[in-house]
Amino acid sequence: MKAMVLQQSAEVGSNPLVLKDVPLPEPMTGQVRVKVHVCGVCRTDLHIIEGELPEAKRPVIPGHQIVGVVDRIGQDVRDFKEGDRVGVAWLQDTCGKCEFCTSARENLCDRSIFTGYHVDGGFAEYIVASKSFVYAIPAGFGDEAAAPLLCAGIIGYRALRLSGIERGQHLGLYGFGAAAHIAIQVAKHWGCSVSVFSQRDHHKALARELGASWVGGSFESPPEKVHGAIMFAPVGELVPIAMRALAKGGTLAIAGIHMSPIPSLHYDEELFGERVMRSVTANTKQDGLDLLQIASAIPIKTHTELFCLDDVNIALQNLKAGKIQGAGVLDLRTG
Q: What is the pLDDT of residues 19-65, one digit of tens each?
A: 999 999 999 999 999 999 999 999 999 999 999 999 999 999 999 99
132-166 pLDDT tens trace: 999 999 999 999 999 999 999 999 999 999 999 99
Residue numbers of the domain that contains 141: 2-150+282-331
Domain count within the chain? 2
Contact between residue 300 and residue 153 where contact means Cβ atoms under 8 Å apart? yes
43 in the same domain as 135: yes
113 in the same domain as 13: yes
CATH number at residue 17: 3.90.180.10
143 in the same domain as 11: yes
Q: How confident is the model at residue 301 (pLDDT cuts 50, 70, 90)?
A: very high
293 in the same domain as 308: yes
Q: How confident is the model at residue 326 (pLDDT cuts 50, 70, 90)?
A: very high
181 in the same domain as 88: no
184-228 pLDDT tens trace: 999 999 999 999 999 999 999 999 999 999 999 999 999 999 999
Asked whether the predicted pLDDT for residue 96 surpasses 90, the reply is yes
CATH number at residue 167: 3.40.50.720
143 in the same domain as 19: yes
Average pLDDT estimate for 233-258: 97
What pLDDT was estimated at residue 204?
96
User: Of all residues in the chain, what percent carry a pLDDT higher than 90?
Assistant: 99
What pLDDT was estimated at residue 182?
97
Asked whether the predicted pLDDT for residue 334 surpasses 90, the reply is no
317 in the same domain as 202: no
Residue 23 and residue 1: Cα distance in Å, rounded? 6
- Going by DSSP bridges, is the β-strand pair 214-216/246-254 parallel, antiparallel, or unpaired? unpaired
Sign of CA dihedral 230, 279, 38, 45: positive
Quote the mean pLDDT of the chain.
Answer: 96
257 in the same domain as 239: yes
What pLDDT was estimated at residue 335?
55
288 in the same domain as 223: no
Domain boundary among 242, 263, 279: 279
141 in the same domain as 43: yes
309 in the same domain as 190: no
Q: How many CA atoms lie within 13 Å of 4's alpha carbon, on the beta-carbon side?
A: 24
Domain boundary among 239, 258, 279: 279
144 in the same domain as 164: no
